[in-house]
Every structure is written in structure tokens, then in C-alpha cells.
Amino acid sequence: MTDFSEIYTPTEEHEAFRAAVREVCDAKVAPNAAEVDETATFPQAAYDALRASDFHAPHVPESYGGVGADALATAIVIEEVARACASSSLIPAVNKLGTMPILLSGSDELKQAYLPPVASGAAMFSYCLSEPEAGSDAASMKTRAVADGDHYVLNGVKRWITNAGVSEFYTVFAVTAPDARSRGISAFVIEKNDHGVSFGAPEKKLGIKGSPTCEVYLDQVRVPASRLIGEPGTGFATAMRTLDHTRVTIAAQAIGIAQGALDFAAGYVKERSQFGKAIADFQGIQFMIADMGMKLEAARQLTYAAAAKSQREDADLTYFGAAAKCFASDVAMEITTDAVQLLGGYGYTKDYPVERMMRDAKITQIYEGTNQVQRIVMARQLLKS
């Protein structure tokens, strides 16, 4: 018989967590979402509200001053913030992404130095893996870190770095043994104020405009060897382990965006009248709403199952993390597109939020590994087993 202790079960505490996050988001995050998108500015008001409520980095363990939320609770936070504003949801999501390598592989010294400022909201953390010529093929990175006594000197360019320039701290992956391919990559903590660190202009993006995305330039950046995360040459393995966990957060972001779109569309079709009755009374509209709700709930259940596996660090997390991210983001793109369709011409205008949600949803199919890469990951896991 099935051992039900191995199946995720959202508890009353999880639902109370959700209610608390939603209250904050409805009051302080959602009202600013359209302006954040229109002006492409960092959602400072949302950050302040999340920080005041300890939702900005809920995953940080209590031993480092954090809330100590489990993986499912953290996913719920990201889901609820994304329902209100996708850009703002990248605050808790990227704080987890940036700090996960330290949690997985970092020394006690690194954890004590860098986790408490994130937990308190004094600093944010970003993740620097991608480069101009190393996207899906991350092992082809060119950034170098050369040992120099008890220091390393880093040179290179990182691209597509979320919250770059706003975050104080950065997990940076660099080649320390050029002939060893992925086994020659190491991970470091870099600080915004380190000499030689600078940032490019923010990218002009389709969506998530309130979350700055910039290049990070490393020009003779000299850091102590104590900032190495794990042993030399283990950085790539740490990066992949990190993504196994954080793809769950992108799945949560995707279902949050989709939920926001479905909520708005469902309310609209009950109020919009054509041919003498609410368009919600037409069977064609009902079928669309039914499919949106069905697929969203399937994505949510898969995401929560993956979150439980992340918490337990199950052996099949790689598969479930990829599956949740891929399925939830595909569903989010479909649901937000259908939401625009349900609003007709109004859906195509900025007077209503669903066009923003559709634009925001697209990136969830691309970052933290494109959905084509996720399918490769899943196939390899299935064939290996």
C-alpha cells in the first residue's frame, strides 16, 4: 500500500501562510503592479511590504535569522505574490536562487556572513550563471577565476542576471580549471561593492519589467578564497542541484500568474453582457473557463508535489522539478492567452491586467532552463531509470 507520509500535504499552517501573504499582496503589491510594469522600475513598495511581513526571503533557516519556511510554504509565498505582480515575486524567488548554493554547499562561515542580511531584508542575493555564449550550455562559460595566494581574481561577463544592481550579493560561477569542462567550474560570493564589479543597462523586456535584468561585469575582481562556495571544481554540480530546487519556485510563479489571470477573467465574463445575457452563460465561454481551471489545478498539484520532494531532497527531484517548471509555465502561457481572449478587445489593452500577465508568463517558459531543456532533462531521467 502507498505510504502516504511520502506524499505532500498542505497543512492548516500552509493555508494560514497563504492567507497572510494574500492579504499583504492585495493591500500593498497589487495596487502598484501596473505602474511598476509601465515605468519598468523596481517594485520598492512591494519589497518594503514583503520585508515588513518576512515574506521577502521566507526560505532562510531560523538559525540564520529567517522564517525557516519549508519548500512548499516558500512556493506558496511566490505563487501569491505572482498572482498580484510577477515582477515582485522575483524578490523571494531570486533570494532563494541566489542563496541556495550557500545553503547546499557553503561553509558555516559563508552562511553566517551572508544569510542573516538576506533574512533581515538588509540585502538581496542574485545568481550569476548565464553568459553571452553560455545559456543552455552553461558549462561553456568563459568567466575565469584565477588563484592568487589566498585570493581569487575574477574576470568575465554574466548576462540575464535578475535584480542585478539592486542585489548586494551575487553567487558567481567561474572557470578555475579550463581543461576540466564542467568539473573545472567553481562558485563564489561576490559583493556589489567589490572593486571591479559593474553593471550594464537594464534590458528592455517584454514582461517582468519591474525586475531589473542586467549584465554583470567582473574586471579584476579580487576576493578572498573564503568566499569560495564548496570545494574548487564543484560549482557546476552545485548550480545544477540549485536549479533542481528552484525550478519549483518558477513553477510556483507561473501558477500564480495564471491564477491572477483566471480570477480576473472569471469575474469579467460574469459581468460582461452580450446578446442580452452575461457571456459566462454561453457554453463556449464555460468550456474555456473549465479548461483553464482544470489545467491550473493540475499544474498546482504537480508543483506542490515537486516542492515536497525538494523539501525531502528526494532522488527524483531532478525529474519533478523539471516537470513542474515545464508544465506550469506552459499552462500559464495558455491560461493568460485565453484570459486575453475572454476579454476580447479590452484584453488587448493596458486598461486591464491580463495583457501584462500574458507578457509576464512568457519568461517562465524560458528562464531557469528553457522548456526544451526541461524536456531533455525529463527524458534523460526517464531513460536512465
DSSP letter string, 71-126 = HHHHHHHHHHHHHH-HHHHHHHHHHHHHHHHHHHH--HHHHHHHHHHHHHTS--EE
Residue 351 has pLDDT above 50, yes or no: yes
Report pLDDT for 9.
Answer: 77
Distance, in Å, from the CA atom of 215 to the CA atom of 208, rounded to the nearest integer, reads: 16
Angle at 274 between CA 273 and CA 279, to 5 degrees: 65
CATH T-level topology, domain 236-384: Butyryl-CoA Dehydrogenase, subunit A; domain 3 (1.20.140)
Nearest residue to 171 (alpha-carbon basis) of 112, 100, 78, 87? 100
- pLDDT above 50 for 127: yes
Amino acid at 369: G
Q: Tell me, which fold does domain 4-120 have in CATH?
A: Butyryl-Coa Dehydrogenase, subunit A; domain 1 (1.10.540)
* Calpha distance 13→85 (Å, rounded): 24
What are the helix and strand counts (H, E) for the chain? 11, 10
* CA 23/CA 248 separation, integer angstroms: 23
Is the pLDDT confidence value at 311 over 50? yes
C-alpha cell at 223: 576576493
Taking only the tens place, the pLDDT of each residue in 220-229 is 999 999 999 9
Distance of alpha carbon 99 from alpha carbon 96, whole angstroms: 5
351, containing H or E segment: none
Catalytic residue among 79, 131, 215, 368: 368
d(CA 27, CA 188): 38
Q: What is the mean pLDDT of residues 296-308?
A: 97
Asked if 365 and 329 count as a contact pair (C-beta separation under 8 A), the reply is: yes
CA max distance for the chain: 80
Q: What is the mean pLDDT of residues 324-352?
A: 98
73, three cell numbers: 510554504
Mean pLDDT in residue range 301-321: 97
Looking at residue 1, what is its pLDDT?
39
The per-residue pLDDT for range 83-118, each reduced to its tens digit, is 999 999 999 999 999 999 999 999 999 999 999 999
Domains of the chain, by residue range, sit at 4-120, 125-234, 236-384
Residues 329, 332, 338, 343, Cα dihedral to 10°:
-140
Average pLDDT over residues 29-45: 98
Mean of pLDDT values over 229-243? 98
CATH number of 125-234: 2.40.110.10
Contacts of residue 277, Cβ cutoff 8 Å, sequence gap at least 6:
none
Distance between CA atoms of 335 and 371, rounded to whole angstroms?
A: 17
Question: Would you state the pLDDT for residue 3?
Answer: 52
Quote the pLDDT of residue 197.
98
Task: Judge whether 261 and 356 are in contact, CB under 8 Å.
Answer: no
At 385, is the pLDDT very low, low, confident or very high (cuts 50, 70, 90)?
Answer: confident
Residue 229 Ramachandran class (φ > 0 left, ψ -120 to 50 alpha, else beta): beta
Could you tell me how many residues make up the chain?
385
- Output the average pLDDT for the chain: 97
Let me know if 368 is a catalytic residue.
yes
Q: How far apart are CA 93 and CA 58, in angstroms?
A: 10
**Amino acid 28: pLDDT:** 98
CB 188, CB 126: distance < 8 Å: no
Among 186, 190, 189, residue whose Cα is nearest residue 175: 186
Q: Average of pLDDT values for 263-274?
A: 98
Cβ distance 233 to 184 under 8 Å?
Answer: yes
Q: Compute CA distances 146 → 107, 141, 184, 191, 270, whole Å.
A: 20, 15, 12, 18, 63
C-alpha cell at 325: 517548471
